Amino acid sequence: MAKRLYIGGLPYSTTEDELRALFAEVGSVTSVKIITDKFTGRSRGFGFVEFANDADGDAAIERFHDSEFGGRKLTVNEARPMEERAPRRERPMGDM
């Protein structure tokens, strides 16, 4: 079964290829996604890495959690499912 990890504390300049190469050191990476700001396109400093199996994911947590990458300390743990958000309220168009 696949294991998806949350990776926090990434340098803003990190590319998905760099992240894939780093985590491929411990196992078979099936996907990588760095989260970006929808307006600027700039990295938000975190992302997700998915491994083909749980053992590789566990090895990655053991190896990389609290380690340094690009001058920043990484947070690596199992990703939680995305929580439902309340719908946004429509703001009335006032006189401008």
pLDDT, one tens digit per residue, over 18-63 is: 999 999 999 999 999 999 999 999 999 999 999 999 999 999 999 9
Could you give the domains of the chain?
3-78 (3.30.70.330)
**Which conformational region is residue 37 in: left (phi greater than 0), alpha (psi within -120 to 50 degrees), or beta?**
beta
CA torsion angle for 74, 75, 81, 85 (degrees, to 10)? -90
0.75 cut: is pTM over it?
Answer: yes
In this prediction, residues 57-71 reach a mean pLDDT of 95
Q: Please list, in sequence order, all residues whose beta carbon lies within 8 angstroms of the beta carbon of residue 60, skipping any fewer than 6 positions away.
A: 5, 23, 26, 27, 49, 51, 76
Predicted local confidence at residue 90, as pLDDT: 76
